[in-house]
């Protein structure tokens, strides 16, 4: 069960408050009656007045109030899986999580900028299936192909430079692993979006891209970083203690390798775009997606939760209608039962 507007549950505190007000009101009435005269005499002056009816009316009104509150909360129920036909393409995002992505020549850092770019690309997708790969010295599968964008964003935000043990940047490993996400026999269009600073410590990225091209993959590369470069901060508890140094104790300056990323994209008739301008990236990717042929495919997903608010509101209004016909006079058949010792 899912609660759509759980904030309205706080209104349930009105129930004990109303009960206390009712009890105080009853106490005040009894007190005034005693001041007026003898209680037995007062009862004889109003023989039709019931002790039970005010309590019943209170219970009915409180149940109606609870029904209205639960209607506002809108509980949702739904557990069945359903197969949905969609028309789109398969997209894999390959995220560079090497230590060089910690450089802050792009605010707030290359890695955080990459996450922002991917998240905004996902926001403008329609019915496409997406997957996520992380890579540094080796590649690591983060999320298989799915249509659940909220789950994809959750995994995306958890990406960090410690999730791949081997350091360096191996673009060819990222391309090879991403290729396994796609069904080679499927006619669905295949797109790999690589986000990186382009520093490659392996060989064969272009040849891996050429192999990807043979299986129908297109690669768009997004360069994050500056050609001037930046140092790699080493943090402890969020505080920068020092910067990464090489064997000669010189501060390592990591720079954007635009040429490497461009050559990978060209090998698959894709394209390169500068990731430092988010709007330019989104426009470029949107234009690319508009020009890629969409294919119909089936996906299994959880059925949407069904709203249940109408049952609670219906129950509440039925009780309110009942309350209209509930008078505070004694009911003859209840009076005969003498359940509350009113005689």
Residues 7 and 62 in one domain: yes
Taking the C-alpha atoms of residue 191 and residue 84, their distance in angstroms, rounded to an integer, is 22
pLDDT value at position 50?
A: 62
Residues 72 and 58 in one domain: yes
Number of domains in the chain: 2
The two structure tokens encoding residue 238: 């969020």
Give me the CATH number covering residue 199: 3.40.50.410
Residue 187 lies in a domain: yes
- The values of phi and psi at residue 299, to 5°, are -140, 140
pLDDT value at position 339?
A: 47
Residues 120 and 249 in one domain: yes
- The values of phi and psi at residue 244, to 5°, are -60, 135
Residue 327 lies in a domain: yes
Query: 2-3 and 75-77: which strand pairing?
Result: antiparallel
Residues 89 and 189 in one domain: yes
Residue 195 lies in a domain: yes
Residues 55 and 95 in one domain: no
Residue 21 lies in a domain: yes
Residue 343 lies in a domain: no
pLDDT value at position 192?
A: 96
Taking the C-alpha atoms of residue 132 and residue 213, their distance in angstroms, rounded to an integer, is 19
- Residues 51-61 have pLDDT tens digits of 667 788 888 88
* Residue 153 and residue 120 in contact, taking contact as beta carbons nearer than 8 Å: no
Among 91, 115, 93, 92, residue whose Cα is nearest residue 224: 115
Residue 217's Cα: distance from chain center in Å?
Answer: 29
Mean pLDDT by 10 residues, the chain (343 residues): 74 90 84 67 57 78 89 73 71 94 92 95 90 92 91 92 81 93 85 91 84 93 94 84 87 91 93 93 93 72 66 85 67 49 52
pLDDT value at position 48?
A: 56
pLDDT value at position 278?
A: 92
Residue 283 lies in a domain: yes
Parent domain of 327: 2-78+306-337
Residues 197 and 235 in one domain: yes
Residue 234 lies in a domain: yes
Neighbours of 56 (CB within 10 A): 16
Residues 122 and 148 in one domain: yes
Residue 342 lies in a domain: no
Residues 257 and 269 in one domain: yes
pLDDT value at position 257?
A: 92
pLDDT value at position 333?
A: 44
Residues 172 and 104 in one domain: yes
Residues 74 and 100 in one domain: no
Among 246, 243, 276, residue whose Cα is nearest residue 258: 276
- Residues 206-260 have pLDDT tens digits of 899 999 999 899 999 999 999 999 999 988 877 888 888 888 899 989 999 999 9
Residues 216 and 187 in one domain: yes
Residues 28 and 148 in one domain: no
């Amino acid at each position: 069960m899912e609660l759509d507007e759980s904030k309205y549950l706080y209104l349930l505190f009105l129930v004990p408050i109303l009960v206390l007000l009712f009890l105080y009101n009853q106490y005040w009435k009894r007190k005034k009656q005693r001041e007026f005269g003898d209680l037995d005499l007062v009862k004889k002056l109003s023989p039709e007045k019931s002790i039970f009816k005010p309590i019943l009316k209170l219970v009915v009104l409180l149940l109606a109030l609870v029904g209205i509150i639960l209607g506002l909360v809108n509980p949702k129920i739904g557990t069945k899986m359903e197969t949905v036909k969609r028309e789109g393409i398969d997209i894999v995002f390959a995220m560079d999580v090497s230590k060089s992505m910690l450089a802050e020549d792009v605010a707030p850092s290359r890695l955080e900028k990459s996450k922002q770019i991917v998240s905004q690309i996902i926001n403008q997708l329609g019915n496409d299936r997406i997957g996520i790969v992380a890579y540094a010295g080796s590649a690591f599968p983060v999320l298989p192909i799915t249509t659940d964008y909220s789950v994809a964003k959750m995994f995306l935000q958890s990406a960090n430079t410690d999730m791949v043990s081997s350091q360096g940047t191996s673009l060819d490993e990222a391309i090879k692993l991403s290729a396994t996400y796609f069904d080679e026999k499927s006619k669905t269009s295949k797109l790999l979006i690589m986000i990186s600073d382009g520093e490659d410590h392996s060989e064969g990225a272009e040849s891996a891209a050429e192999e990807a091209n043979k299986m129908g993959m297109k690669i768009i590369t997004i360069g994050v970083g500056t050609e001037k470069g930046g140092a790699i901060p080493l943090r402890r508890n969020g505080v920068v203690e020092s910067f990464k140094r090489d064997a000669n104790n010189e501060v390592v300056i990591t720079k954007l390798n635009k040429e490497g990323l461009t050559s990978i994209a060209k090998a698959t008739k894709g394209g390169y775009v500068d990731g430092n301008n988010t709007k330019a990236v989104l426009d470029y990717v949107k234009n690319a997606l508009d020009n890629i042929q969409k294919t119909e495919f089936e996906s299994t997903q959880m059925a949407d939760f069904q709203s249940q608010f109408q049952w609670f509101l219906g129950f509440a209004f039925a009780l309110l209608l009942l309350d209209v016909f509930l008078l505070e006079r004694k009911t003859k058949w209840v009076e005969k039962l003498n359940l509350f010792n009113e005689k």
